């Protein structure tokens, strides 16, 4: 049988849940196999339980399901990673090696591996951080992403594995909940606002971070994966930007729609992580190489988030 199916690893996560739907809309439900550590429910296409740390199980699944592309989303994110750095390193790196090795040995067509703005540290330019910048991350998550980017580049150059990658900023969406990052506040805040609750933010009011609305993140991912290989100059990972804002600015944007909304601030250990990251990102390489352009700014995202979340809380269907 022809190898022509896509495997998503980490399909139950914040991005994986939405990316699975998007890929199924393009390729057909049966062509996209969604996998995660736990059984996935409510899917109209094939699902599998897979621990990406199990190289044999991964190879068997790739062969039995006739997989030609892998989207490897499983990872431990920045805030959770700092609670158990060795576990984060083990999961992030071993799962990536398993994916790269199975892709090399079974000659898969393409691999997607997301990196993050967490690759940057305080030595990097804070504003409009360039594509090729000093990478001295301050979290184990960031260290694993820098290493992962370099291994992706190595597999491309040494073995010809077509690995592609984006350095996502904080991703905000109404479809799913975030999984242990420093930018999670920018999702949580909308859930509190639509329920008429005040929000206590774990970052200070002036902490500016790069962010991206989920529809833009998904579009960027599909666009990168469809781009002709000879258009891609970055084989580590592409800088990607949508908007930058502070907690005070997102609160003001929400107050514009919900005038009674109030925010207070109680910074915790995540403040130091956020302080080590860029405030804004230069994504001109992605724009020039494969035509990237975001569609949502802060106020457009706020309107759309509130519209969808109001409906979810009204109907109770999440």
Positions annotated as catalytic residues are: 141
Region binding ligand AKB by CB under 6 A among candidate stretches 46-54, 66-74, 114-122, 290-298: 114-122
* CA atoms of 49 and 210, how far apart (whole Å): 33
Residue positions counted in the chain: 318
Closer CB to ligand AKB, 141 or 190, in the complex: 141
Cα 160 to Cα 157: distance, rounded to the nearest angstrom: 6
Within 101-120, the residues that bind ligand NAD by CB under 6 A are 114, 116
For residues 102 and 38, is the Cβ–Cβ distance under 8 A? no
- Least distance to ligand NAD, CB of residue 260, Å: 28
Contact 185, 267 (CB under 8 A): no
> Would you give the binding string for ligand NAD spanning residues 232-271, x where CB under 6 A is met?
----------------------------------------
User: Contact between 92 and ligand AKB (CB under 6 A)?
Assistant: no
Window contacting ligand NAD (CB under 6 A); options: 14-22, 248-256, 261-269, 296-304: 14-22
E strand map for the chain: 5-9, 32-36, 47-49, 67-72, 110-112, 115-116, 163-164, 166-168, 170-172, 199-201, 209-213, 238-239, 243-245, 263-265
Q: What single DSSP character describes residue 224? A: H
> Residues 175 to 204: which contact ligand NAD by CB under 6 A?
178-181, 183
Min separation Cβ 158 and ligand AKB, Å: 27
Q: What is the layout of strands, in order, in the sheet containing 110-112?
A: 47-49, 32-36, 5-9, 67-72, 110-112, 163-164
Site stretch for ligand AKB (CB under 6 A), options 1-9, 49-57, 113-121, 287-295? 113-121
Which residue, 198 or 297, has its beta carbon nearer to ligand NAD? 297
Comparison of 79 and 306: residue with beta carbon closer to ligand AKB: 79
37 near ligand NAD, rule: CB under 6 A: yes
């Amino acid at each position: 049988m022809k190898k022509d199916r896509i495997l998503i690893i980490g399909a139950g996560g914040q991005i994986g849940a939405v990316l699975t739907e998007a890929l199924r809309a393009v390729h057909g439900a049966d062509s996209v196999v969604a996998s995660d550590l736990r059984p996935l429910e409510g899917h109209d296409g094939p699902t599998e339980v897979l621990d990406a740390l199990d190289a044999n199980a991964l190879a068997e699944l790739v062969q039995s399901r006739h997989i030609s592309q892998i989207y490897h989303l499983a990872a431990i994110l920045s805030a959770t990673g700092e609670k158990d750095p060795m576990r984060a390193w083990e999961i992030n790196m071993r799962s990536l090696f398993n994916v790269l090795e199975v892709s090399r040995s079974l000659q898969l067509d393409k691999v997607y591996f997301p990196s993050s703005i967490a690759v940057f540290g305080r030595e990097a330019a804070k504003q409009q951080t360039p594509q090729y910048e000093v990478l001295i991350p301050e979290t184990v998550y960031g260290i694993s992403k820098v290493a992962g980017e370099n291994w992706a580049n190595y597999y491309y150059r040494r073995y010809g594995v077509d690995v592609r990658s984006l350095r996502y900023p904080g991703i905000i969406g109404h479809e799913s909940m975030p999984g242990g990052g420093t930018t999670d506040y920018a999702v949580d805040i909308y859930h509190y606002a639509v329920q008429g609750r005040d929000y206590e933010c774990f970052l200070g009011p002036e902490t500016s971070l790069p962010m991206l609305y989920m529809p833009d993140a998904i579009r960027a991912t599909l666009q990168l994966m469809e781009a002709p290989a000879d258009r891609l100059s970055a084989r580590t990972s592409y800088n990607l930007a949508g908007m930058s804002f502070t907690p005070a600015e997102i609160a003001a944007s929400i107050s514009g729609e919900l005038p009674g909304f109030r925010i207070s601030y109680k910074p915790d250990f995540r403040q130091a992580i956020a302080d080590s990251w860029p405030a804004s990102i230069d994504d001109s390489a992605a724009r020039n190489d494969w035509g990237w352009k975001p569609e949502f700014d802060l106020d457009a995202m706020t309107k759309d988030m509130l519209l969808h979340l109001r409906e979810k809380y009204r109907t109770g269907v999440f």
